[in-house]
Structure 1
């Protein structure tokens, strides 16, 4: 018998059926770590016709969220969640995942023949090796979306990419689960997971920091509603970057305007020394990329880099 042969489950329910969960061969789902991500994915799987039967939660806020969004799930221990489920979602922080995988095995949780999926962007399936050796069927299903804990989190999964890593025999199962949640599976090799996650975190998380910094600087410059001013500009810049790549670059660095950049450096040194370091690092990277792409003349790049070096 193939150790990776998954338990069967049916196609998504047809429209018009009273309750898709009444279809045969649906999975019993357990959520270990009923936080923002776990409750959103659990709710999405429930809507697809699976049954979320058990969940574990540590904080009072997580317990309330689980009770609201996964009302049919018994709140219990991680070991009992595993015992009740065919598909176990391990939706805990990245740094806790390896310890959880080992701890479940050490406490005798029976994972043989069960699908065990985590939602970490950082890891592939190797982090689940203790569970795999115990007969678990490992999946890495990372939704490329931010979750706020609000009721609209589940709706945000529609059309969202999932970074997926799975053993070859389980790829159809991983793909089916992602599609059922409304997502789009994108396959990430095990040894590329850290790079994949660094790209996402650098783009999304640092974008928030840059926008907040820009809003603070505009307030210091006397702008009463910096969000209103920045919205159209940043929306157009993001659209240009996604559609055109570096060809969408504008501004003083792209023009080779070293004098303007020098003024920026001097003013930021006075108002926001922390912001200055980020500005200089990003301006250097922008100049290097613009030079390599032929958008910036070598002599202009040299003047820019001199200003940034000072």
Structure 2
């Protein structure tokens, strides 16, 4: 172990997340002793973030004080089970998956490891740009009470803000993030396709201020931020939208119809839409089904 509370850190996983977090810990004064991965496909990118850090075998990572497991959610459980025999009592074993809490680290904990689950609530590019984006980003922290100060310190060394998430709530937390971010990308991509068909390459410039304002308003006001034909009960406009979208891309029309139905339900429940107007909107959506 390094002096003055500094740790030897090994990163398992050479994707977009592990090397960035390793670089953040290195910048905080810890020593990154190695990067382990099944392939070295991303060697150029990893070496840009962690120059002079050697490539090691996954089992060798457990010579470090802190082992950072930055692998996909579905890979983590089998990996921990496979590497558990190499665990040393008292070493920190940290995973960065959003879905899992501490249970997935049980094979390591049973051998004396100190388990932590730390998930940055952000998307990663796998470049140095992420080091700036980590500053102030929320990190979901799941730990035992005794390790809470350690988790808090590590997150703050990334420049991030710890947010405690109970072990049982990790799947719901992760589903919320995936639904909001991943499906937002799909929604925006569909809107871009439709807008390009109408206004050409100006589509992004047209949509950007509207989408940014809608996101800010929704994060602040929730359902109260809803605007447009569904919120007004303009069933005729909804029907026209479905018709032109179906001609341009049936998949986009289907997405529009499903989300408009949910929006009508929520607007009605919030008192934003009268029962009569909500019924009219749903009628337009049903009439527009293929």
Task: Decide: shared fold, TM above 0.5.
Answer: yes
* Range with greater deviation from structure 2 (73-82 or 254-263): 73-82
Say whether 1:39 aligns with 2:19.
yes
Match of 2:5 in 1: 25
Is residue 11–residue 22 contact of structure 2 (8 Å, CA) maintained in 1?
A: yes
Secondary structure in 1 aligned to 2:244? helix
CA distance, structure 2, for counterparts of residue 148 and residue 296 of structure 1: 41
Secondary structure in 1 aligned to 2:98? coil
**How much has 1:111 moved relative to structure 2?**
2.9
CA distance, structure 1, for counterparts of residue 230 and residue 261 of structure 2: 9
Say whether 1:133 aligns with 2:110.
yes
Count of aligned pairs: 287
Q: What are the ranges of 5 or more consecutive residues in structure 2 without an aligned counterpart? A: none
Which of the residues 61, 77, 95 maps onto 2:57? Answer: 77
- Please list the CA deviations of residues 260-303 of structure 1 after superposition, one character each: whole Å capped at 9, or x if unmatched: 00111112222211111211111111111111111111100011
- Please list the CA deviations of residues 204-238 of structure 1 after superposition, one character each: whole Å capped at 9, or x if unmatched: 11111111111111111243321111111111111
Q: Over aligned residues, Cα RMSD in angstroms? A: 1.4
Which of the residues 246, 263, 276 maps onto 1:286? Answer: 263
Is residue 89–residue 113 contact of structure 2 (8 Å, CA) maintained in 1?
A: yes
Is residue 57–residue 63 contact of structure 1 (8 Å, CA) maintained in 2?
A: no
In the superposition, the TM-score normalised over structure 2's length comes to 0.95
Match of 1:217 in 2: 194
Q: What are the ranges of 5 or more consecutive residues in structure 1 without an aligned counterpart? A: 1-6, 8-21
CA distance, structure 2, for counterparts of residue 234 and residue 101 of structure 1: 41
Match of 1:142 in 2: 119
Match of 1:3 in 2: none
**How much has 1:163 moved relative to structure 2?**
0.9
Is residue 54–residue 75 contact of structure 1 (8 Å, CA) maintained in 2?
A: yes
Say whether 1:204 aligns with 2:181.
yes
- Please list the CA deviations of residues 46-69 of structure 1 after superposition, one character each: whole Å capped at 9, or x if unmatched: 111111111112333422222221
**How much has 1:133 moved relative to structure 2?**
0.6
- Please list the CA deviations of residues 1-36 of structure 1 after superposition, one character each: whole Å capped at 9, or x if unmatched: xxxxxx9xxxxxxxxxxxxxx852201111000221
| 1:232-271 alignment runs, 5 A limit | 232-271=209-248
Is residue 35–residue 65 contact of structure 1 (8 Å, CA) maintained in 2?
A: no
| 1:53-72 alignment runs, 5 A limit | 53-72=33-52
Which of the residues 249, 257, 272 maps onto 1:272? Answer: 249
Which of the residues 59, 72, 80 maps onto 1:101? Answer: 80
Match of 1:52 in 2: 32
CA distance, structure 2, for counterparts of residue 167 and residue 60 of structure 1: 34
CA distance, structure 1, for counterparts of residue 78 and residue 201 of structure 2: 48
Secondary structure in 2 aligned to 1:219? helix
Say whether 1:302 aligns with 2:279.
yes
* Range with greater deviation from structure 2 (123-132 or 240-249): 240-249
**How much has 1:72 moved relative to structure 2?**
4.0
CA distance, structure 1, for counterparts of residue 66 and residue 150 of structure 2: 11
CA distance, structure 2, for counterparts of residue 27 and residue 60 of structure 1: 25
Is residue 46–residue 52 contact of structure 1 (8 Å, CA) maintained in 2?
A: yes
CA distance, structure 1, for counterparts of residue 172 and residue 254 of structure 2: 24
Is residue 23–residue 49 contact of structure 1 (8 Å, CA) maintained in 2?
A: no
- Please list the CA deviations of residues 109-164 of structure 1 after superposition, one character each: whole Å capped at 9, or x if unmatched: 13311110100011111011111111111111000111112221111100000011
Say whether 1:231 aligns with 2:208.
yes
List structure 1 runs of 4+ shifted beyond 6 angstroms.
none
CA distance, structure 1, for counterparts of residue 88 and residue 253 of structure 2: 51
In the superposition, the TM-score normalised over structure 1's length comes to 0.89
